């Protein structure tokens, strides 16, 4: 009897064990549950640029994900050097286009990609681009929208057109929002800049531009307000055009501008300048604005000029307080005062240029101030 009972209990124990094992192996485990959720489709975005472009696009995508889109974005930013402008204007963009064209040749291009500015027509005529007017509601045919520093386009054969359009429009809108917020913040910082800061030519580019803005705004010259380039590094310098001059039909050049070049280590200013095209010296509005640019530059460069006005420096350079004549631009040589070196160029100076140019640079070398400027004797030339 005991043997029979023991056998029965053994059978029951085996049966229960089997049931438990089956339950354990068939029960959905957490990792199985996660893997059973369908993965979101992926949209690929390829761009080129420096670390500023990379940061901008990653920040923009973080904002985009706050909307919980039904897809994920795979971003790749191909690094480029500071000579990117040269390559983009002459055509082929090394590194970036090599990858992009290889993926097009393989039939698997990114869904969205930065369009090389000098070769956009090549991509369009080859049928590589999706025409966007029906998606954006534009009456004009177009193939990209500005996102950061470049046009972002969509590959014609993408299988993710709706998703790509959604992302493109968001990034385009975010670009303008980002720029507006950046400019508002920079203007606010410009107004808070201490007016007694000395040696701005040996400080950062941002501080130089903030003081320029503060002085311009104090004179109600909003048209002279400038901002740093959002997506460019500063090794090449920066120029800002206040007036564009059409020197021939459909041919334009800076008519009135300011610019700067940073030091080789990119930590401070090397020199800055303002210029006006000589053909505009009979345009009273442009001339008046150029005179304000000259005074503004002198006051940014020299703290004493901010206190006392630019009259003394203008007379030191061979002009007068009202800058009643541009003759002093034709003087050769240099002058130094309060650790600032001044040079000018004009149509009758050594380089026979087409611009009136005043340039300032920091000079803390030993020795007294000097003025070696002189008028050229044209009869001996």
In a domain, 12, yes or no: no
Same domain? For 362 and 275 the reply is yes
Per-residue pLDDT of the chain (381 residues; tens, 9 = 90+): 444 444 444 344 434 443 333 334 334 444 444 445 578 899 999 999 988 999 999 999 999 999 999 999 999 999 876 455 555 456 678 788 889 999 999 999 999 999 988 888 889 999 999 999 988 888 899 999 999 999 999 999 999 999 999 999 999 999 999 999 999 999 999 999 998 888 888 888 889 999 999 999 999 999 999 998 888 775 556 789 999 999 889 899 999 999 988 777 766 778 899 999 999 999 999 999 999 999 999 999 999 999 999 999 999 999 999 999 999 998 888 999 999 999 998 887 665 678 999 999 988 888 889 999 988 765 444
Q: How far apart are CA 324 and CA 127, in angstroms?
A: 58
Q: Quick check: helix, strand or coil at residue 292?
A: helix
Same domain? For 225 and 350 the reply is yes
Residue at which a domain ends, from 181, 207, 234: 181
Same domain? For 283 and 367 the reply is yes
Strands (E), 66-205: 72-79, 112-114, 145-147, 150-154
Q: How far apart are CA 232 and CA 80, in angstroms?
A: 11
201: tokens are 């030519």
Domain membership of residue 252 as a residue range: 196-380
Same domain? For 58 and 85 the reply is yes
CA angle (365 as vertex; 361, 371 as ends), nearest 5: 65
- Helix residue spans in 263-324 (DSSP H): 284-301, 303-308, 311-316
Q: How many CB atoms lie within 10 A of CB 21?
A: 10
Same domain? For 229 and 119 the reply is no
Q: How far apart are CA 96 and CA 54, in angstroms?
A: 14
Number of domains in the chain: 2
Strand partners, 271: 261, 361
Dihedral of alpha carbons 334, 337, 339, 345, sign: negative
* β-pair type (335-337, 331-332): unpaired
């Amino acid at each position: 009897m005991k043997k029979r009972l023991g056998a029965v209990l053994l059978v029951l124990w085996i049966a229960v064990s089997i049931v438990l094992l089956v339950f354990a192996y068939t029960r959905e485990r957490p990792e199985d549950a996660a893997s059973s959720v369908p993965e979101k489709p992926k949209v690929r975005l390829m761009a080129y640029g420096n670390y500023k472009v990379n940061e901008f696009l990653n920040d923009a995508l973080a904002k985009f994900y706050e909307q919980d889109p039904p897809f994920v974005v795979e971003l790749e930013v191909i690094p480029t050097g500071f000579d990117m402008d040269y390559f983009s204007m002459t055509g082929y963009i090394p590194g970036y286009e090599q990858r992009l064209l290889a993926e097009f040749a393989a039939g698997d291009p990114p869904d969205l990609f930065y369009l090389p500015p000098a070769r956009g027509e090549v991509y369009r005529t080859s049928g590589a681009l999706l025409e966007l007017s029906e998606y954006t509601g534009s009456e004009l045919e177009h193939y990209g929208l500005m996102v950061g520093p470049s046009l972002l386009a969509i590959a014609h054969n993408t299988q993710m057109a709706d998703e790509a359009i959604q992302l493109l429009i968001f990034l385009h809108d975010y670009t303008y929002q980002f720029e507006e917020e950046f400019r508002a913040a920079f203007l606010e910082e410009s107004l808070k800049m201490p007016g007694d800061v000395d040696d701005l030519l040996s400080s950062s580019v941002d501080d130089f531009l903030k003081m320029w803005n503060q002085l311009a705004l104090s004179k109600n010259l909003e048209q002279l307000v400038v901002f740093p380039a959002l997506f460019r590094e500063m090794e090449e310098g920066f120029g800002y055009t206040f007036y564009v001059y059409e020197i021939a039909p459909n041919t334009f050049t800076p008519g009135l501008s300011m610019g700067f070049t940073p030091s080789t280590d990119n930590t401070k200013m090397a020199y800055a300048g303002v210029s006006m095209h000589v053909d505009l010296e009979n345009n009273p509005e442009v001339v008046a604005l150029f005179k304000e640019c000259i005074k503004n530059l002198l006051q940014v460069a020299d703290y004493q000029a901010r206190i006392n006005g630019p009259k003394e420096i203008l007379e030191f350079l061979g002009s007068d307080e009202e800058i009643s004549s541009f003759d002093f631009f034709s003087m050769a040589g240099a002058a130094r005062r309060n650790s600032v070196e001044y040079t000018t160029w004009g149509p009758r100076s050594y380089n026979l240029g087409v611009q009136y140019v005043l340039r300032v640079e920091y000079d803390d070398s030993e020795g007294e101030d000097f003025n070696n400027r002189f008028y050229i004797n044209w009869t001996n030339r």
